[in-house]
């Protein structure tokens, strides 16, 4: 992930069932405040524990869009060019709860579920969990390879 130029992955080299290198994303309050500033989503449920609990949440929760945005980096790193992602969709079944002391870990894995040689489009399904709970559902990205 330096500035070294990387080639874009070639469709002919990819098979259905190929697994992408997974990752663990650590998220703490500082990270959520950084995302709040960058995304302009300043909802206090993502940084103010007192407010979050007052609306019935167990604690501060991560922005669903933070999790969606962080998870897709395993796809963009694997593809070799973030501009090749043509479709990306998720559901948000459960929130990522972010305690003050420990923060939270988000585990991301991905597998190729479809591949079309003519269009060079590949479909990748992501599995995204925190504390064993699925935090993104039906997380699917489509990218155009070389």
Q: What residues line the site for other proteins (CB under 8 A)?
A: 1-3, 5, 25, 31, 34-35, 37-41, 55, 64-66, 68-70, 72-73, 76-77, 81-83, 85-92, 141
- Between 15 and 55, whose beta carbon lies closer to other proteins? 55
- Tell me how far, at minimum, the Cβ of 124 lies from other proteins, in Å: 12
| 116 φ/ψ angles, rounded to the nearest 5 degrees | -125, 110
- Tell me how far, at minimum, the Cβ of 18 lies from other proteins, in Å: 20
- Between 17 and 119, whose beta carbon lies closer to other proteins? 119
Secondary structure of 102-117 in HEC code, one letter for each residue: CCEEEEEEEEEEEEEC
Q: What is the DSSP string of 65-78?
A: HHHHHHHTHHHHHH
- Tell me how far, at minimum, the Cβ of 19 lies from other proteins, in Å: 20
- Tell me how far, at minimum, the Cβ of 111 lies from other proteins, in Å: 18
CA dist 29 to 87, 95, 101, 106, 135, Å?
Answer: 29, 15, 9, 14, 18
- Between 14 and 70, whose beta carbon lies closer to other proteins? 70
Largest CA distance in the chain: 54
């Amino acid at each position: 992930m330096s500035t070294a130029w990387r080639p874009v992955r070639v469709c002919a080299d990819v098979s259905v069932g190929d697994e992408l290198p997974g990752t663990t994303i650590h998220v703490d309050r500082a990270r959520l405040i950084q995302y709040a500033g960058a995304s302009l989503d300043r909802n206090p449920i993502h940084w103010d524990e007192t407010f979050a609990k007052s609306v019935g949440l167990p604690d501060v929760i991560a922005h669903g869009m933070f999790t969606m945005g962080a998870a897709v980096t395993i796809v963009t790193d694997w593809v070799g060019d973030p501009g090749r992602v043509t479709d990306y969709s998720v559901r948000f079944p459960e929130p990522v709860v972010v305690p003050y002391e420990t923060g939270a870990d988000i585990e991301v894995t991905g597998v190729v579920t479809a591949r079309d040689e003519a269009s060079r489009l590949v479909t990748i399904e992501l599995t995204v969990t925190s504390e064993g709970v699925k935090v993104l559902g039906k997380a699917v990205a489509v990218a155009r390879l070389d």
